Amino acid sequence: MTTDSSDITWCLCLGFLLQGLTLYYCSRNDRLHRWRFLLHVSAFLWIAMVFLKRFYIDQILPPRDAISHEMWARHVADLLSQENYLDLQPILGIGNRGYRLVLGAFYWISDAPETATYAVHACLAYWGLLSMVDLYSQHFRASRIPFVVIALSVFCPSALFWTVGNIKEGAALWGICMTTRFTYLYLTKRKKKGKFLAFFGAGTIAFFRPQMAVLWLVGLAGGNIKKDVKPGMIVVSLLGVVVTFYLIQMIAPAVVDKIVKNGLIETAQEEYEARSSLGNSAITYRNGVPTPFISGCILLLTRPWPNEVHNASSMFAGVETWFVFMVMCYQWMRCPDRKMVLMHPLTMSLLGALFCFSFYFSFMYNMGLMVRQRLMVYPAILGLIAIPALARVMKEDWLQRQAAEKKRNAVTQLHSKPAPKSESAHAPAVAPPAVRHRRVA
């Protein structure tokens, strides 16, 4: 497959847009400005990955989901151009159908090639991850951002591989990041300009992946339970959970009915047993049946294990997973004031999201699907690496300020001592000459 002028034009335009977005964040955040060259290089890398994925990797390993999405989206674009809205009604929906509808409308408006879809998803994923680093550095105002935080955000291999494509991961990751970022910026700074992106991001993730929206909304709501939260935010969070549950009911009504009848855990175990035989990369557990929360947490943070590596993709996934897990453990081991950092509302929200995803992933049946969907919880994992790293830098800054203040106080005391008396001061004083009084006759 060869490129044409429209592919290059779209990638160039979106590449310049990505460079401008990087410049915008670096100009607003002094800590990011220190890494501006590396961030500009990473923005270029994300656009270069579009060509690598579109014209090389996907030709060797054809993505079935992307091919199906592209076919249906072109069909939707044809129906819209013909104004055939009657045949469009069966396609309406959320999840995969919602994504195909939005993508078809994009093709109908812009007549863009599929390469443009790859580039748009790459830009959205990069934007989301960069905004999360900016959020963490604003809440923990250290003098610098450690290199490991920058590297694991904009150079994450799984994000580069899975979001650059014609699948929902890029847009869904952006929606999660925007919802988390502007929720916390609104809570702390009480600014309303981020409301639009927060609601738009929440709508995106709820429209494309409503089950992920429920997990993140529950996590964010759990971390925001504190005294200075507006009651309106709690109401909005509860409404968001109700709406996303309704969207899940639209996607899988039979599963929801089973949950109501048999309970959540029993239904999840039945679904796992029914689907674990599908495909050639089924997830197995020691006792044959997953343990809620524990199995999911282990799956998210440590698997695939070395004995589960069967090809190059699973090997890369395992190496990245174990590296990220060891970095997270190392950062928390070096974190000062762990209790205070853990009790921070942002940390509690990320832990809440990880807890919810651990339950969801406890009943994941396919390793390949798990590796791809694990990207939806990556902002929380990235935050649990960035927060202790930034807290340690803040402690180092405080120690440096204390040492500088002690030195300054010592210099001030040295200059404020009285000067020693001169030798003339110790000499005996000379009596003034006697004044003779004239006797008055």
Q: Measured between alpha carbons, how far is residue 142 from residues 24, 147, 177 in Å?
A: 20, 13, 21
Measured distance CA(359)–CA(149) in Å, rounded: 27
- pTM, entire model: 0.85
Expressed in angstroms, the distance from the first to the final Cα of the chain is 136
Predicted pLDDT at 1: 56
In this structure, is the dihedral angle defined by the CA atoms of residues 320, 322, 324 and 326, taken in order, positive or negative?
Answer: negative
Task: Say which range, 156-170, 330-344, 373-387, 399-413, has the weakest mean pLDDT.
Answer: 399-413
- Residue 156 — pLDDT band, cuts 50, 70, 90? very high
Give pLDDT tens digits for 68-119.
Answer: 999 999 999 999 999 888 888 888 888 888 899 999 999 999 999 999 999 9
In the predicted model, what is the mean pLDDT of residues 135-139? 89
Rounded-to-10 torsion of CA 99, 363, 177, 31: -140
Of 353 and 241, the one with more pLDDT: 353
User: What amino acid occupies position 35?
Assistant: W
Predicted pLDDT at 365: 72
Highest mean pLDDT among 211-215, 322-326, 339-343, 353-357: 322-326
Which two three-digit tokens encode residue 46?
Answer: 């994300």
Measured distance CA(211)–CA(191) in Å, rounded: 29
Of 349 and 435, the one with more pLDDT: 349
Longest dimension (CA), the chain: 141
The DSSP code for 433 is: P
Q: Are 314 and 304 in contact (CB under 8 A)?
A: yes
| pLDDT beyond 50 at 135 | yes
| pLDDT beyond 90 at 34 | yes
Measured distance CA(312)–CA(317) in Å, rounded: 9
In the predicted model, what is the mean pLDDT of residues 253-263? 57
Which two three-digit tokens encode residue 197?
Answer: 């992106």
User: Shortest CA distance to 66 belongs to which of 79, 77, 53?
Assistant: 53
Rounded mean pLDDT of the chain?
81
Q: Concatenate the DSSP letters of all residues of 335-381 into one string.
A: -SSHHHHHTSHHHHHHHHHHHHHHHHHTT--BHHHHHHHGGGGHHHH
Cis, bond preceding 304 (omega within 30 deg of 0): yes
Measured distance CA(69)–CA(63) in Å, rounded: 10
Measured distance CA(282)–CA(365) in Å, rounded: 6
Rounded-to-10 torsion of CA 8, 44, 69, 199: -120
Long-range contacts of 187-195 (CB under 8 A, 24+ apart): 187/224, 187/228, 187/229, 187/233, 187/345, 188/139
User: What amino acid occupies position 323?
Assistant: F
Of 34 and 187, the one with more pLDDT: 34
In this structure, is the dihedral angle defined by the CA atoms of residues 246, 247, 250 and 253, taken in order, positive or negative?
Answer: negative
Measured distance CA(126)–CA(134) in Å, rounded: 12
Which two three-digit tokens encode residue 426?
Answer: 């110790």
Measured distance CA(358)–CA(295) in Å, rounded: 7
Give pLDDT tens digits for 165-188.
Answer: 888 999 999 999 998 887 776 555
Measured distance CA(214)–CA(33) in Å, rounded: 35
User: What amino acid occupies position 277?
Assistant: S
In the predicted model, what is the mean pLDDT of residues 60-67? 86
In the predicted model, what is the mean pLDDT of residues 328-347? 91
- What 3-state class would DSSP assign to 271? helix
Measured distance CA(34)–CA(246) in Å, rounded: 45
Which two three-digit tokens encode residue 160?
Answer: 């580069």
Predicted pLDDT at 395: 92
Angle between helices 169-189 and 114-139 (to 10 degrees): 30
Q: Are 98 and 348 in contact (CB under 8 A)?
A: no
Work out the burial of residue 409: count CB atoms within 10 Å of its CB; fewer than 13 is exposed, 13-18 middle, 19 or more buried.
exposed
User: Shortest CA distance to 75 belongs to which of 42, 100, 40, 43?
Assistant: 100
Which two three-digit tokens encode residue 52?
Answer: 């690598």
Of 219 and 123, the one with more pLDDT: 123
- Residue 149 — pLDDT band, cuts 50, 70, 90? very high
Angle at 373 between CA 334 and CA 355, to 5 degrees: 50
Give the other-Cβ count within 10 Å of 49's Cβ. 21
Residue written as token pair 């250290």: 142
Phi-psi label, residue 293: left if phi above 0, alpha if psi -120 to 50, beta otherwise = left
| pLDDT beyond 80 at 376 | yes
